[in-house]
Chain A
Amino acid sequence: MMEDLSQYPLELKGPDIPMVRFSRVTKRYGDLTVLDDLDLDVTTGEMVTIIGPSGSGKTTVLRMLMTLETINEGVIYVDGQPLTHMVKGDKLVPADRKYLRKMRSQIGMCFQHFNLFPHMTALENCMEGPVQVLGMKKKEARERSEELLELVGMADKRDQHPSRLSGGQQQRVAIARALAMRPKVMLFDEVTSALDPEVIGEVTNVIRSLVDEHNLTMLMVTHQMGFAKDISDRVCFFYGGSIEEQGTPEELFGNPQKERTQQFLSAVKEAG
Chain B
Amino acid sequence: MSYTDFLRQYGDRFWDGTLITAQQFLLASLLAIAIALLAGLMKLSRNRLIRGIAVVYIEIFRGTSLLVQLYWIFFVLPLFGLTLAKFTAGFVAVGMNLGAYGAELVRGGIQSVPKGQWEAAYALSMSPARRMWRIILPQAFVNMLPPWGNLLIELLKNTALVALISVSDLMFEAKQINGTTFLSAQTFGTALIIYYVLARFIVTPFMRWLERVMRRKLGRA
Contacts and interface: CB of A to CB of B under 8 A. Distances in A.
A102 B183 CA distance: 72
Interface in A103-153: 104-105, 107-109, 111, 113, 115-119, 121, 128-129, 132-133
Contacts, number: 72
Contact of B218 (A109, A118, A178, A181): A118
Contact of A181 (B124, B128, B219, B220): B124
B129 to A, nearest CB: 11
A193 interface: no
Interface residues of A, number: 31
Interface string B39-55: 00000000000000000
A111 B119 contact: yes
**Which of A107, A132, A178, A181 has the most chain B CB atoms inside 10 A of its CB?**
A132
B139 interface: yes
A74 interface: no
Interface stretch (B10-18, B130-138, B164-172, B184-192): B130-138
A80 B219 CA distance: 43
Contacts of B63: none
A162 interface: yes
B125 interface: yes
A111 B120 contact: yes
Interface in B90-139: 114, 116-117, 119-128, 130, 134-135, 138-139
A225 to B, nearest CB: 26
**Which of B117, B120, B122, B130 has the most chain A CB atoms inside 10 A of its CB?**
B120
B130 A132 contact: yes
B217 interface: yes
Contacts of B128: 97
A150 B114 CA distance: 29
Given A119-B138, A181-B125, 8 more contacts: A105-B125, A108-B123, A116-B120, A118-B139, A129-B124, A132-B124, A162-B219, A164-B219
5 contacts: A104-B125, A116-B120, A128-B126, A132-B126, A162-B219
